[in-house]
Amino acid sequence: MERIERVKEAGGWLERYRHDSTSCNCPMTFSVYLPPQAQQGPVPSLYWLSGLTCTDDNFRVKAGAQRYAAELGLALVIPDTSPRGEEVPDAPERYDLGQGAGFYVDATRAPWSHHYQMYRYVTRELPALVEGALPLVPGLRSISGHSMGGHGALVCALREPGLYRSVSAFAPICHPVRCGWGEGCFSAYLGEDRRAWEAYDATCLVRAGAEPIELLIDQGTADEFLAEQLLPEALEQACAERDFPLRLRRQPDYDHSYHFIASFIGEHLAYHARALGR
């Protein structure tokens, strides 16, 4: 992997890398924040999954997370949201399909399936890459994300027991098989069999018997996508049916933006730091 950027921040280093991905069959870019404690030895990591239209740059610039990560001794691993490049299929007339909208699934339908393997990339290839090359503790990781990335974080944690010590999300797409964003992407990436979609739906996974792990979710009550796209009440009901541990915090008057994320990211990082033994 090739380091293409390095910036000193909050006593540590914000770095950006490019590598040839065997999962996505194209060059992929990601960022890592190494806190000052990484200069003395390996540190645990928090994987952050961003939302629709984003790259790795949105979170590292807008969330203000690096200051908290430096205090807590956490590395931040920030992948892109999809494969990119001239050879990668896209839907340029849409913001919610194609490049910038990988939805953290492994596509099975042409023309998407050759490149859009974001679930495998996030859960397998990227951890093996960064934990083998950087001062990170192998296997000591948590995961979080926003919107489409919040969906991805929940699904990764529910499908991979033991892979992450903790999981949280900001305004996640909780029931994508029943919302426009999810239906549009899943039908393209996975085909028309809705039963196949349920493997990438947090609400369906809880109902299907996923191993319990506490879910911490913050949702703004003024979020413009709350009623039609995010559907937290569906996940809340599924968790209640199974007595599944869920902390859904409805934050009055907050919207879907990074102002919302920046307001609570410190609490989320502290939550993960406790789970990671920091």
CA distance 31 to 165: 21
Assign 17 to helix, strand or coil: strand
**Annotated catalytic residue within 146, 151, 256, 272:** 256
**Whether 269 contacts 72, CB under 8 Å:** yes
**Annotated catalytic residue within 82, 223, 268, 272:** 223
**Annotated catalytic residue within 21, 45, 82, 147:** 147
CA distance 68 to 12: 11
Catalytic: 223? yes
Residues 6+ apart with CB under 8 A from 257: none
CA distance 239 to 208: 11
Catalytic: 146? no
Catalytic: 57? no
H-type alpha helices, the chain: 56-62, 65-72, 118-120, 126-133, 148-159, 180-190, 194-197, 202-207, 232-242, 258-275
**Whether 30 contacts 56, CB under 8 Å:** yes
- Which residues are registered as beta bridge partners of 27? 20
Residues tagged active-site: 147, 223, 256
